[in-house]
Structures are given as C-alpha cells and as structure tokens.
Amino acid sequence: MYKVHLKQAQTQLAELIEEAANGKEVIIFRNDGTSFQIIPIKAEKPYPKFGSAKGLVEMSDDFDEPLEDFQEYAP
C-alpha cells in the first residue's frame, strides 16, 4: 500500500497510476485529513448501437436477381 501526500503525488502521478494498475493500493491524503484512493476502472467493451450503420450500406437494384454463374444449377 502506498500512502502519499498530495504535494508528493503531484510530481509522481504517472508512477502512482502505474502502481494502481498493477494492483497496489494507492492512497493520497491532504493536510485537512481527507484521503483519496486511486483505483483502476476496467474498460467497457464497446456495444454496437442499434441503427448506427444507417445509410452506410447500399444494395444494388438487382440484388435478388439470379447470378449468371449459377444458371446451370437453377431449376
């Protein structure tokens, strides 16, 4: 566990964040007795939003027409 005063934490913030990311408990305290804990927040996986691709996909007019290459397989 790291217990660091606010003045010292200002100069070592990157190091303290790295320690918190590695699972160490990091607490920053002020002169008035208030303390704060640095904890890592897991990144959320992006979730696709319904309708976000609207207007990005276009289908040709002959999409449903049979393909020439498959004429011999058609009934």
Is this prediction's pTM over 0.85?
Answer: no
Helices (H), the chain: 6-11, 13-21
13-34 confidence digits (pLDDT tens): 999 999 999 999 999 999 999 9
The pLDDT score that the predictor gives to residue 67 is: 85
Domains of the chain: 1-38 (3.40.1620)
The pLDDT score that the predictor gives to residue 56 is: 92
State the Cα–Cα distance between residues 14 and 36, nearest whole angstrom: 16
Instruction: Give me the count of residues in the chain.
Output: 75
The pLDDT score that the predictor gives to residue 69 is: 86
33-47: average pLDDT:
89
State the Cα–Cα distance between residues 36 and 38, nearest whole angstrom: 7
